[in-house]
Structure 1
Amino acid sequence: MRLTAIICTMALVAAVFSATAHAGNDNVPPKGFKALFNGKDLAGWKGLVKNPKERAKMSPRELATAQKAADENMRQHWSVDDGVLIFDGNNKGGPLCTDKDYGDFEMLVDWKIKEKGDSGIYLRGSPQVQIWDIKLFDTGSGGLYNNKKNPSKPLKTADNPIGEWNTFKIKMVGDKVTVHLNDELVVDNVTLENFWERDKPIYPTGQIELQNHGNTLYFKNVYIREIPRK
């Protein structure tokens, strides 16, 4: 009995220490990862221009013009406060997109929503690893919501209460995605389908997007580790 109590106490102390250490090192990437968000401003991010299929049809001049307008819109609705990326909840604001494309990678990101929150992480410009208020949708976050042929729902509900921070660990290799939410496995090596062109596999590279549906959103500790292809 005493041994069990000691073990439980040690686990609790370790958990508290870990949480405290993490809180004191926001936006500082762990070994092997790079920070996509510097904790200070929107450097490295851009606004959304349409979708991968439509962007591919645009001329360089058309894309540059559209990107300038998207960036201006992005800066009106996304901001940084005390080391946190914040979306203001305005329906006219679009997703926040990395200014670089990625192929295979492992990604870490902390997120927080309010009641009725609805968001997601687009991988290679394609929807999505789902984020939402489980009270509205009766299933947890982390699933590949837009899948039709392959599993779309998470294996379990692992969301923290509304208003508390959550952590995704997302791994994408080829067309396969694995997601851990708050250290719980919720998606296990599932194919992410091409939402924009259903008859084609997922694009080999693309931007990462923080999506919104007109709800106030919070993100921090956004890290990535690129995985070399064999």
Structure 2
Amino acid sequence: MQTAQKLTLSLCLSLAALGFASAQDGRAVKKNYLVKPDETEFWDPEVPTVTPGKEYGAAPSDAIILFDGKNLDNWVTVKDGSPAKWEVKDGAMTVVKGAGNISTKQDFGDYQLHIEWRSPNEPETLKSQGKGNSGIFMQGMYEVQVLNSYQNRTYRNGQAGSIYKQSAPMINPIRPMGEWNTYDIIYTAPRFNQNGGVETPPYVTVIFNGIIVQNHTKIQGSTEYIGAPKNLPHGKGPISLQDHGNLVSFRNIWIREL
């Protein structure tokens, strides 16, 4: 090997050894100068502290309580804005047939929503969408389906945990009718550009009885019973609960704005 080649090889090996040694003592070689670990550490501002609930499902300290089991003061009837007329009993609110959908008085954008629901004990003659049917509408227009899907076959994208008529849940972890189910919903609202087009669509993650059934699922638009989804520009919107004629109950509803 020629002398020049030997010198080049020796230099390369020395640089490689230096890089290895630097990695061993917690430093990295970058553009011929050393960077210390603390140069990539961020201390301020300090991460805010939130006190979690004492048990699973209990509201954390920064949550907005939407229903505490006592009254419907935070809810109105969707149709005319009058006070919500659902029944409140034993810490739960229950659909009153014909009273109509209800919505929160407050509007929201991005959030984490906790809600517990129970389908009633209904006769076996009721099937498919006629059994324990209700829904939770994000911003009043994007529905996470509520349905008695326990041994009750229906269309995949219409069972409990679905984004109604759009995305079926990955699995069906529902409890038997008459037992309480839990949804934890992480929702990112859509953004629209100046021309009214969708800049970023809405996304949702749904944790159903502790199991992920929608994983950052893209929502195609409004969840229509008939026809294709619509994407009309809008701002923040309420949480709405559906009166579908079944005596579905809800409790322990709280939200964290993100």
Q: What TM-score do you get using the length of structure 1 for normalisation?
A: 0.70
Q: CA offset at residue 79 of structure 1?
A: 1.7
Superposition TM-score, scaled by structure 2 size: 0.62
Q: Is the 8 A contact 2:68 2:251 kept in 1?
A: no
Corresponding residue for residue 67 of structure 1: 81
- Aligned pair in 2 of structure 1 residues 206, 143: CA closer, same or farther (>3 Å)? same
**Could you tell me how far apart the structure 1 residues matched to 2:140 and 2:254 are?**
17
C-alpha RMSD over aligned residues: 2.3
CA–CA separation in structure 2 for the residues paired with 1:154 and 1:173: 18
Aligned residues: 176
Cα distance between partner residues in 1 of 2:232 and 2:165: 14
Partner of 2:207: 180
Displacement of 1:99: 0.4
Q: Find the structure with the greater CA-based Rg.
A: 2
Aligned to 1:141: 160
> Residues of 1 paired with 2:256 and 2:168: CA distance?
25
Runs of 5+ consecutive residues of structure 2 not aligned to the other structure: 1-53, 123-130, 190-201
Distance 1:146 1:87 in 2: 22
Per-residue deviation at 1:201?
Answer: 5.9
Of 148, 170, 179, the residue aligned with 1:164 is 179
Q: 1:210 to 1:199 in 2, by over 3 A?
A: closer
Amino acid in the other structure paired with 2:107: D
Structure 1 residue runs of 5 or longer lacking an equivalent are: 1-19, 50-65
The 3-state SS of whatever aligns with 1:216 is coil
Asked which structure has the greater RCO (Cα within 8 Å, sep 6+), the reply is: 1
What is the CA-CA distance between 1:122 and the residue it aligns to? 0.2
Q: Give the Cα–Cα distance (whole angstroms) in 1 for the partners of residues 115 and 101 of structure 2.
A: 15
- The structure that is helix-richer by fraction is 1
1:104: which partner in 2?
Answer: 110
For the residues of structure 1 that align with 2:92 and 2:100, how far apart are their CA atoms? Answer: 18
User: What is the correspondence of 1:2-17 to structure 2 with a 5 Å cutoff?
Assistant: none
Report which stretch shifted further, 127-136 or 153-162. Answer: 127-136
SS at match of 1:179: strand
Q: CA deviation at 1:87?
A: 1.4
- Aligned identity (percent) is 31
